[in-house]
Amino acid sequence: MRTIIYTGKGGVGKTSLSSSTALASAERGHKTLVMSTDSAHSLGDSLETPLTADPTLITKNLYAQEVDILTEMERNWKDIYAYFTTFLQSQGVEEITAKEFVVLPGMDMMAALLLLEHYKKTSEYEVVVMDTAPTADTVRLLSFPDALRWYFDRFFKMQKRMAKVARPTVGKMMKTPLPSDNFFEAIDRLYQRSLTVRELLSDGKNTTVRLVVNPQKMVISETQRAYTYLCLFGVPIELLVVNNVFPAASGEGYFQGVISEQEKNLDSIHEAFGDLPIYSCPRYPHEVLGKEKLLKLASDVFGDKDPAQVFAATQPVKFFTRGGKKFLTIELPFATTEKMEVLLRENTLHVRVGWHKRTILLPYSFVGTELGEARYANDKLTVRFD
């Protein structure tokens, strides 16, 4: 299954590009699903079709879906949902309010990833295009499998044993309900599925991220940060789409300053992302809504190329051996060493860049080694193990 993830700062045009890519993919005969993971859904508006939590047929070969976290929890995580709701009610929270509180930050992203895993396993679609929330939420979305693994390895098994002991003893005297075996089994299943998601997201041959940027200084800066963090989490970056580029012919009168500033920003984009394939599309004099206008957008961006193809295959995280020494490299463009930390604990490497942290489980051949040297140069962090 080919998976394309569009991300970028809010308002740069991710939804339009996701919709147009999916429509053009379907036109070429690929059975395609376009999925919105943003809680403020606008995918249905873009396609001019009301959407639900289930895939809706839009046109031949094209389906669309807006992920709804409450629906997904009631369908697939009943035991987890039921326990947290009961727990909150035992603390005096009303039932309706409790059901809303159960939806913790990040759960909508988790639901989207598990749907992705489901479609991969069932082979229902040839191409899945994800229209994500703004950049920061997307980084959390893609880091979720690593975060869950950390929780599972550190706390889950201990909590499961404690609950088993407490249930027939102190549990009988407590008003607060203790989690059942079904709850822990549901968490375990969630963890096992997240491992599959991690593999799916790291598969550069089939799963890639496309960055969307506008030629504006603030947007470019955020996209650079997104590029760094996505590389940190080992997600292949495929290409960059520069959206809403004003035609040079409009640079008269009021818009003369806009065009002049835009040209400088376009130069900055090519300098910063020069190694990535860069595509662009113009600022239209109308909203891009409906099939006809979305297909025109896809044509302006990709020309006669298949928009579902992989335009560049990158591997931000690499393990290798050289001269009898073991190394790990991570592509970290635009990072700064002042905000970087590298730490090895047992068989896990911890890398912190700014506020973001990643734990990388080392291959078996690296287990038992010690951290030798960590050096950042040419947008790449190289770690040597002795």
In the chain, what are the domain boundaries? 1-304, 317-385
Residue 104 has pLDDT above 80, yes or no: no
Confidence category of residue 345, pLDDT binned at 50, 70, 90: confident
| Bridge partners, residue 241, by sequence | 212, 279
* Local structure of 140: helix, strand or coil: helix
Alpha-carbon distance of 251 to 257, in angstroms, equals: 8
Q: Is beta strand 56-59 parallel, antiparallel or unpaired with respect to 62-66? A: antiparallel
Asked if residues 43 and 19 have their Cβ atoms less than 8 Å apart, the reply is yes
How far is 164 from 7, CA to CA, in rounded Å? 43
In the chain, what percentage of residues exceed pLDDT 70?
Answer: 92
Average pLDDT of every residue of the chain: 85
Of 49, 40, 31, 38, the C-alpha closest to 7 is: 38
Superfamily for the 1-304 domain: P-loop containing nucleotide triphosphate hydrolases (3.40.50.300)
Q: 22: number of CA atoms within 13 Å, CB side? A: 34
CATH architecture label of 317-385: Sandwich (2.60)
CA 147 to chain centre: 13
pLDDT grade for 141, boundaries at 50, 70 and 90: low
Most confident of 16-20, 194-198, 216-220: 16-20
Instruction: Supply 273's token pair.
Output: 């992302």
Integer CA distances (angstroms), 87 to 113, 171, 200, 220, 341, in order: 26, 13, 34, 44, 38
Residue type, 112: A
Q: Which helix (H) or strand (E) is 189 found in, with range?
A: helix 181-201
Give dist(CA 367, CA 369) in Å, integer.
6
- What digits encode the pLDDT tens for the residues 162-183? 777 777 776 666 777 777 788 7
| Whether the predicted pLDDT of 46 surpasses 90 | yes
Q: Give per-residue pLDDT as tens, 224-281.
A: 888 877 777 777 889 999 999 998 877 677 788 888 899 999 988 887 776 789 999 9
- pLDDT band, residue 292 (cuts 50/70/90): very high
Coil/strand/helix, residue 30: coil
- DSSP assignments along 204-259, one per residue: TTTEEEEEEE-SSHHHHHHHHHHHHHHHHTTPPEEEEEEEEEPPGGG-SGGGHHHH
Which letter, b or e, does each residue of 265-288 get, where b requires 16 or more Cβ atoms within 10 Å of its Cβ? bbeebeebbeebebbbbeeeeeeb
Q: Is the distance from CB of 107 to CB of 69 less than 8 angstroms?
A: yes
Instruction: Give the contacts of 270 (CB within 8 A, at least 6 positions apart).
Output: 278
Supply angle C-alpha 241, 304, 6, rounded to 5.
Answer: 30
| pLDDT given at position 71 | 82
CB 297 within 8 A of CB 16: yes
pLDDT per residue as tens digits for the range 230-246: 777 777 889 999 999 99
pLDDT at 182: 82
Residue 133 contacts residue 141 (beta carbons within 8 Å): yes
pLDDT of residue 102: 66
Which distant-in-sequence residues (6+ apart) come within 8 Å of 216 by Cβ? 265
Phi, psi of 222 (to 5 degrees): -65, -35
Residue 154 and residue 165: Cα distance in Å, rounded? 19
**pLDDT, tens only, 51-94:** 999 999 999 999 999 988 778 877 777 777 787 788 777 878 88
Q: Which residue has the tokens 């975060």?
A: 147
